[in-house]
Structure 1
């Protein structure tokens, strides 16, 4: 924990309490102690005169900036492996890849097959997601229409409408159950109680994991960097091998070739 006011004003003298004795005693008794990782979201930290108290007010303002999130990496929900339409597409994709790369090196062919399987899977899951979203929207509208019709009907025989509502709600429950399983998978929840339906809980786990993996501040050459674009650029430069590192990897092979 750090004293944020002292961090913001390292050389300034200011106090939050003073005595009425002679000589007067000045002290800074009031603090905001925060985690150092929160320093980059501080807007201002000031000491102001208090009201009806002999202590001054310590004011702290934070800004809650949500970091920009990229596309992330693809995580397959393995329940799709039971989808016969998906199985057919994957088998056909493998056959086409092998047919179009007859003369390729086996290792290269294997990498191409894996890449095409990944692309086909992403394309298919995206298509299924759009279909599911449309089905969910249409089902909700149908249920609302049927419930309105049930409310307005004047006859006592409403069995058909009630059965239709029950059927549509079962379809909607199935959609929500599938959606919940996807959230649990992405959240990597290891312990799920039987018949647990707390979707918000698992969604918060997934969001919290994403925030924890986000870098909010970097120190480069003694300088603090908090701009999201600059952080990503510094990470890219750090991960990119230098010319010297590339030469070090090549040099041993050059020496062996020269010796031979």
Structure 2
């Protein structure tokens, strides 16, 4: 939504307002602008209109801003657009549980049993093909049903 005209051409406010409304509707923010609130950098130069624009964005959920450490607009080298980058915070991932365990209380739930039987039959319809071994079918079925 940043633009600088060197030829005095008018800005298209309608498209800017559409993007801003979209961002508002979906709780998105412009990551680069959040990190550089007062900077003026552009990702595109129009030779026809003699204007600079920032057309390339990382629109992210506002809740994800804390997971970003920096954003940057790089020099135009190959394309007619400047590349942009976003650096994520390196958070140490928690290791997943090594063993999955089935919640056996579901075996007492008749709705679950009906649902599972229907899903298992559907799985077999699509995957029990000639040449598929029973062990492969079983192992894949367990993964799908998890």
Taking structure 1 as the reference length, the TM-score comes to 0.28
Structure showing the higher strand proportion among its residues? 2
Instruction: Tell which structure's C-alpha radius of gyration is larger.
Output: 1
Structure showing the higher helix proportion among its residues? 1
**Taking CA–CA contacts closer than 8 Å with sequence separation of 6 or more, which of the two structures ends up with the larger relative contact order?**
2
